[in-house]
Chain A
Amino acid sequence: MGSMLGNLPSFDPHNFSQLRPSDPSNPSKMVPSTYRPTHSRTLPPPDQVRATEAKNILIGNIYQRAEEKLRSKRAATEHLIPEHGCKQTRPSTS
């Protein structure tokens, strides 16, 4: 069992080297100061205010399917139109 806990990672050997266990009935009383930002950089750069794209996923899906349907139809009928030429290497879809 000892071996399982052997070689525990050490990033900086100094960390915790001087820490002595405290009296368990006496909890830690160190209180950090409370942060009150008053600077202007609490606001991100304007291009980093992000929201979800407005298009609803369901509507997006319906459009996408309709498009796919249309495309496969077109692919069938307008098989030989030059701008689709590049896709002709995928015969399985035609």
Chain B
Amino acid sequence: MSTWNYVVTAHKPTNVTHSCVGNFTSPQELNLIVAKCTRIEIHLLTAQGLQPMLDVPIYGRIATLELFRPHGEAQDFLFIATERYKFCVLQWDSETSELITRAMGDVSDRIGRPTDNGQIGIIDPDCRLIGLHLYDGLFKVIPFDNKGQLKEAFNIRLEELQVLDIKFLYGCSKPTIVVLYQDNKDARHVKTYEVALKEKDFVEGPWSQNNLDNGADLLIPVPPPLCGVLIVGEETIVYCSANAFKAIPIRPSITKAYGRVDADGSRYLLGDHAGLLHLLVITHEKEKVTGLKIELLGETSIASTISYLDNAVVFIGSSYGDSQLIKLNLQPDAKGSYVEVLERFVNLGPIVDFCVVDLERQGQGQVVTCSGAYKDGSLRVVRNGIGINEQASVELQGIKGMWSLRSSTDDPFDTFLVVSFISETRILAMNLEDELEETEIEGFNSQVQTLFCHDAVYNQLVQVTSSSVRLVSSTSRELLNEWHAPSGYSVNVATANATQVLLATGGGHLVYLEIGDGTLTEVKHAQLEYEISCLDINPIGENSNYSHLAAVGMWTDISVRIFSLPELNLITKEQLGGEIIPRSVLLCSFEGTSYLLCALGDGHLLNFQVNMSNGELTDRKKVSLGTQPITLRTFSSKNTTHVFASSDRPTVIYSSNKKLLYSNVNLKEVGHMCPFNSAAFPDSLAIAKEGELTIGTIDDIQKLHIRTIPLGEHARRICHQEQSRTFAICCLKNQSSADESEMHFIRLLDDQTLECISTYPLDTFEYGCSILSCSFSDDTNVYYCVGTAYVLPEENEPTKGRILVFIVEDGKLQLIAEKETKGAVYSLNAFNGKLLAAINQKIQLYKWMLREDGSREIQTECGHHGHILALYVKTRGDFIVVGDLMKSISLLIYKHEEGAIEERARDYNANWMSAVEILDDDTYLGAENNFNLFTVRKNSEGATDEERGRLEVIGEYHLGEFVNRFRHGSLVMRLPDSEVGQIQTVIFGTVNGAIGVIASLPHDQYVFLEKLQSNLRKVIKGVGGLSHEQWRSFNNEKRTAEAKNFLDGDLIESFLDLSRGKMEEVSKGMGVSVEELSKRVEELTRLH
């Protein structure tokens, strides 16, 4: 049953919609605040660049983001309004580093037609009122009192119904707005109104201007001393005020964003639809405007927002490509551009389509998206987990342990790789040709298994075997000293650092040795009551060669203990609980916090924070990494220490923002790992896996890896073909900007290099609408099928399209067959060895027929009418699920005997669909244009035909994101024997560049998590006082209903971000221990 669903974000939205600059976090600090649909990011301007401070989830889609400075305040406040008519005013409390809510409220009206051109929210420059245009014909005012407090809001009737923009004018004694609007003859004008706060009405303003540029769309208010407003059109820019009117023609372009450069408003940056950045200058003599000048500066991503930061550095926020930090140079570069890109911020939005593939054939899904729009279009390969880039590998069976050693204490590189087997030890070293070859360290005993090895001070090496500890010179490689285990005892486990050795023999004997120049001194001995299973003395204190603490794992009582060194006094004992013995312990330090990691024999890992002065263990947490015993080792990458957990599910443990994170390594099973930083393979790891020793480098340590393949054109559909190892995409290229026409292509890409290897141009006006890789009955070939539409300017809906069938031969797209259709082919599916197409209002089934001459053709078999536009189609067996433009989801069935398609059931709600997917035989998932998700169920047991013909809505949820595509699949490697491995997941991609996962949970888990969610709602507050419950409630024009059968995984997983105290609060409410809660939530994070 896929009734109970868990929705979680794998990749947060990255589409930048708004940005502003001001002194938000302190009167002295300058901040850039960026809105990414449902999140805001607060950055600090520093000498090193933009420093991200905080990512703030907002329970709403951000419609307005404005900084303002109320009277008497030393720093700015942030005004946010959401699309669902909530607003809040936030203030930064620098003492606690918290966002506090100064005011909030609801600005919805019971009656009113929402504006077509988006919501407008503006703040009077003199801070007398906030103005909102949310409904046609209404201007809402939230006045400030003289102490900066907000008063009750009221509406004023606005005669202009088609409003394009509204701004406040500067320098007016009464608050004055300027309105850009279109009349019913499609002419555009501006008008000014004074807001009379007492009378709650408009008073005719000081001036107006009729008959502007037909493309006028943007108002820029000009601050004092000049005042007035700039009206930006497609062919002209006009400066307008009560006593001046200046205009300049511009090259035809659509200005998407502007940023004011100077406080006096004399210069502006304008970004257009083609990503060109212009500088607009108002020339003036004293306070009199004399004219306008405009200059092209260069090219950026297509901007949706521009913020001038400081010292010629500008933030370009983009919805269509990556956002950028640019510098405006005084002198142009060789290409004549004044723009220098300093930094780039990844944006996957809009994700128009994507596919899930396993390119490396490791059982791990990767998402390949069609991202961006127009010239900023690209493909992005999104992969979870950390990859190992193999550099060398050799077959070696039965590895029991590995250590790297240096040839002298101050050598920056490792020379030797000690590989231990059950009855021998082999030593590999880099030779002069930078090859790994077997060598010898004469002082080592290579006839037995090595238990531990380490570099030691004074150019020495130490080897621990079951019978002795050997101290060897790293230069002469000769034995310098040896400590023998007492007769009758053998060493079971051992560990060492540069100056210390700790080992345990049978009978619970713990022996502590110190290393001197040629000496090994037994300093202390202790007898414990049970056998010892693992040890560690990794120095994490001030001295990097000496540890004051030793961690010891025990058999029998299943505990981990901390001893002081050199005294070997027991200072802490922690019972681990359960019956599984600890197999590996490790003391380590992340971001200045000391931890003890303790891995159990069943793949669980416990972590504690360690108090370095008294050895106390606190903040115990447990996670499940795999099912087999884990071995822990530290390694360094890019000067940061991480921990590698070798097991059946290798994992890298690292810390980000003081939180431990677990990232999968994209390898199947790792027995042992040791860092091997040699001159030939710098920063590498030696990894023992499946009878093989591999040396490789490791990816950047982060959860999701994104590879960008810029296309310079807009990809709209993508599909992968396993057999030809290719991708095929439908894309469009805008011709030179002077000519607005666009050309559409089908392109074939190599699935490894992602280079275009073949192109098939479509006809003029012909759009690629759908693409599919499939095979047909009685034919072994695999084909690419493409559905198209002829989009003619004079037609409302396309009346003609084509289905094209290609085969990949010698890396080329060869057209095998084509069939004309009576409309746009919105969707194509492989169906019972045939081809199922959605063409305008019809579902059509085609057969693949062999002609007498041996060629192939597509033949119509049957069809089903009765949709407005059948846009999205998914199939399972003989069932067909259709997502309609405006008639929600319907279920069709193909009847073989009759050769007919009939409707079985439908959802009678009027949902405008954006994507559908089949969760199981009876449950279907839909996304619609009010940013909701819902599930419907087939009612096969219904008593009447009427009941059986109705799809029952069983789940509803407000996602707050526009979903363009669902696909079955997973971003993570699935272990069939793990609990998480059994959970079915669907991936979705959104306009804002978010990638999410919908996981269908077993009922008991759902109930548990639902309770956790409601407990978390009490502890984690909505920023700005916004309610989580309201945010997730299903909402469209007609109704609002509480979310059901969907859980917010983002809220649930934020449990792991809570302080210990707050975790305990939740734990109390749940009646479940913090350890158990963290473990269960941590498991969920491994779904994505």
Query: What is A's interface to B at a CB cutoff of 8 Å?
Result: 1-2, 4-6, 8-19, 21-22, 24-25, 27-45, 47-53, 56-57, 61
B75 to chain A, nearest CB (A): 14
Q: Are A48 and B103 touching (Cβ within 8 A)?
A: yes
Q: Are B343 and A28 touching (Cβ within 8 A)?
A: yes
**Which of B39-47, B165-173, B204-212, B824-832 contacts the other chain?**
B39-47
Q: A51-B105, A52-B154 are in contact. Are A19 and B48 (CB under 8 A)?
A: yes
Q: Are A53 and B152 touching (Cβ within 8 A)?
A: yes
Q: Does B822 contact A (CB under 8 A)?
A: no
User: Residue of B at shortest CB range from A32?
Assistant: B52
Q: A5-B279, A9-B261, A31-B656 are in contact. Are A51 and B152 (CB under 8 A)?
A: yes
Q: Are B338 and A5 touching (Cβ within 8 A)?
A: yes
User: Residue of A at shortest CB range from B706?
Assistant: A27
**Which of B366-374, B617-625, B1016-1024 contacts the other chain?**
B1016-1024
User: Residue of B at shortest CB range from A22?
Assistant: B343
A25 to chain B, nearest CB (A): 8
Q: Are B45 and A61 touching (Cβ within 8 A)?
A: no
Q: Are A35 and B99 touching (Cβ within 8 A)?
A: yes
9 A-B contacts (beta carbon < 8 Å): A18-B47, A18-B49, A28-B344, A31-B702, A32-B41, A34-B1054, A38-B1058, A44-B102, A49-B105
B1053 to chain A, nearest CB (A): 10
The one of B308, B328, B659, B1020 that contacts A37, using a Cβ cutoff of 8 Å: B1020
Q: Which 5 pairs of residues, A with B, have the shortest CB-CB distance?
A: A50-B105, A33-B657, A32-B52, A48-B103, A42-B1021
Q: A22-B342, A31-B52, A32-B52 are in contact. Are A50 and B42 (CB under 8 A)?
A: no
**Which of B310-318, B423-431, B605-613, B916-924 contacts the other chain?**
B310-318
Give the CA-CA distance A31 to B41 in the complex, in Å.
Answer: 10
Known: A5-B329, A10-B311. 11 other contacts (CB 8 A): A6-B330, A15-B45, A17-B47, A27-B708, A34-B1054, A37-B98, A38-B1062, A41-B100, A44-B88, A44-B103, A48-B150
Q: Are A8 and B312 touching (Cβ within 8 A)?
A: yes
A90 to chain B, nearest CB (A): 16
**What count of chain B residues pass the 8 Å CB interface test?**
96
- B:1024-1042 near A, CB below 8 Å: 1024-1025
User: Residue of B at shortest CB range from A26?
Assistant: B344
Q: A39-B96, A48-B102 are in contact. Are A28 and B345 (CB under 8 A)?
A: yes
Q: Mark B255-286, 1 if CB is under 8 A from A, else 0.
A: 00000011100010000000000010100000
Contacts of A47 in B (CB 8 A): 149
The one of A2, A13, A22, A52 that contacts B311, using a Cβ cutoff of 8 Å: A13
Give the CA-CA distance A36 to B99 in the complex, in Å.
Answer: 10
Give the CA-CA distance A19 to B343 in the complex, in Å.
Answer: 9
The one of A18, A21, A28, A50 that contacts B142, using a Cβ cutoff of 8 Å: A50
What's the dominant secondary structure at chain B's contact region? strand
Q: Does B388 contact A (CB under 8 A)?
A: no
What's the dominant secondary structure at chain A's contact region? loop
Give the CA-CA distance A45 to B104 in the complex, in Å.
Answer: 9
Give the CA-CA distance A19 to B309 in the complex, in Å.
Answer: 13
Contacts of A36 in B (CB 8 A): 1020, 1054, 1057-1058
Contacts of A34 in B (CB 8 A): 54-57, 1054, 1057
- B:271-326 near A, CB below 8 Å: 279, 281, 293, 295, 297, 308-313, 322
Contacts of A56 in B (CB 8 A): 110-111
Q: Are A44 and B1025 touching (Cβ within 8 A)?
A: yes
User: Residue of B at shortest CB range from A61?
Assistant: B157
Q: Are B45 and A12 touching (Cβ within 8 A)?
A: yes
Q: Are A44 and B346 touching (Cβ within 8 A)?
A: no
Q: Are A8 and B261 touching (Cβ within 8 A)?
A: yes
Q: Are A32 and B46 touching (Cβ within 8 A)?
A: no
Q: Are B47 and A41 touching (Cβ within 8 A)?
A: no
Contacts of B140 in A (CB 8 A): 52
Give the CA-CA distance A50 to B152 in the complex, in Å.
Answer: 6
Q: A27-B322, A27-B346, A32-B53 are in contact. Are A4 and B312 (CB under 8 A)?
A: no
Query: What is B's interface to A at a CB cutoff of 8 Å?
Result: 30, 41-43, 45-49, 51-57, 88-89, 93, 96, 98-111, 138, 140, 142, 149-157, 261-263, 267, 279, 281, 293, 295, 297, 308-313, 322, 327-332, 338, 340-346, 656-659, 700, 702, 706, 708, 1019-1025, 1054, 1057-1059, 1062
A-B contact count (CB 8 A): 216
Contacts of A30 in B (CB 8 A): 51-52
Give the CA-CA distance A85 to B319 in the complex, in Å.
Answer: 62
Q: A19-B342, A30-B52 are in contact. Are A52 and B309 (CB under 8 A)?
A: no
User: Residue of B at shortest CB range from A9?
Assistant: B262
Give the CA-CA distance A56 to B109 in the complex, in Å.
Answer: 9
Q: Are A35 and B1021 touching (Cβ within 8 A)?
A: no
A33 to chain B, nearest CB (A): 4
A60 to chain B, nearest CB (A): 8
Contacts of B657 in A (CB 8 A): 31-33
Contacts of A53 in B (CB 8 A): 152-154
Contacts of B312 in A (CB 8 A): 5, 8
User: Residue of B at shortest CB range from A23?
Assistant: B344
Give the CA-CA distance A64 to B99 in the complex, in Å.
Answer: 42
Q: Are B330 and A15 touching (Cβ within 8 A)?
A: no
Q: Are A33 and B345 touching (Cβ within 8 A)?
A: no
Give the CA-CA distance A33 to B657 in the complex, in Å.
Answer: 6
Q: Are A50 and B309 touching (Cβ within 8 A)?
A: no
B1021 to chain A, nearest CB (A): 4
User: Residue of B at shortest CB range from A34?
Assistant: B55
Q: Are B47 and A38 touching (Cβ within 8 A)?
A: no
Q: Are B104 and A33 touching (Cβ within 8 A)?
A: no
Give the CA-CA distance A42 to B103 in the complex, in Å.
Answer: 9
User: Residue of A at shortest CB range from B106?
Assistant: A51
Q: A56-B111, A57-B157 are in contact. Are A9 and B1021 (CB under 8 A)?
A: no
Contacts of A33 in B (CB 8 A): 54-55, 656-659, 1057
Q: Are A48 and B149 touching (Cβ within 8 A)?
A: yes
A43 to chain B, nearest CB (A): 5
User: Residue of A at shortest CB range from B1020?
Assistant: A36
Contacts of A16 in B (CB 8 A): 45, 47, 49, 309-311, 313, 327, 342
Contacts of B46 in A (CB 8 A): 14-15
Give the CA-CA distance A34 to B12 in the complex, in Å.
Answer: 11
Contacts of A18 in B (CB 8 A): 47-49
A58 to chain B, nearest CB (A): 8
Give the CA-CA distance A32 to B33 in the complex, in Å.
Answer: 12
Give the CA-CA distance A4 to B341 in the complex, in Å.
Answer: 20
Give the CA-CA distance A48 to B708 in the complex, in Å.
Answer: 46
Give the CA-CA distance A32 to B57 in the complex, in Å.
Answer: 12
Q: Are A32 and B54 touching (Cβ within 8 A)?
A: yes
Give the CA-CA distance A29 to B100 in the complex, in Å.
Answer: 28
B112 to chain A, nearest CB (A): 9
Q: Are A51 and B99 touching (Cβ within 8 A)?
A: no
Q: A21-B341, A41-B98 are in contact. Are A8 and B52 (CB under 8 A)?
A: no
Give the CA-CA distance A19 to B261 in the complex, in Å.
Answer: 20
The one of A12, A37, A49 that contacts B30, using a Cβ cutoff of 8 Å: A12
Q: Are B153 and A50 touching (Cβ within 8 A)?
A: yes
Give the CA-CA distance A69 to B154 in the complex, in Å.
Answer: 23
Q: Are B42 and A15 touching (Cβ within 8 A)?
A: no
A28 to chain B, nearest CB (A): 5
Contacts of A40 in B (CB 8 A): 1021
A20 to chain B, nearest CB (A): 8
Q: A17-B47, A28-B344 are in contact. Are A42 and B153 (CB under 8 A)?
A: no
Contacts of A17 in B (CB 8 A): 47, 311
Q: Are B153 and A57 touching (Cβ within 8 A)?
A: no
Q: Are A15 and B138 touching (Cβ within 8 A)?
A: no
User: Residue of A at shortest CB range from B29?
Assistant: A12
Give the CA-CA distance A47 to B309 in the complex, in Å.
Answer: 36
Q: Are B157 and A15 touching (Cβ within 8 A)?
A: no
Interface centre among B311, B322, B1022, B1025 (most CB of A within 10 A): B311
Interface centre among A21, A48, A52 (most CB of B within 10 A): A52
Q: Are A10 and B103 touching (Cβ within 8 A)?
A: no
Contacts of B106 in A (CB 8 A): 50-52
Contacts of A1 in B (CB 8 A): 295, 332, 338
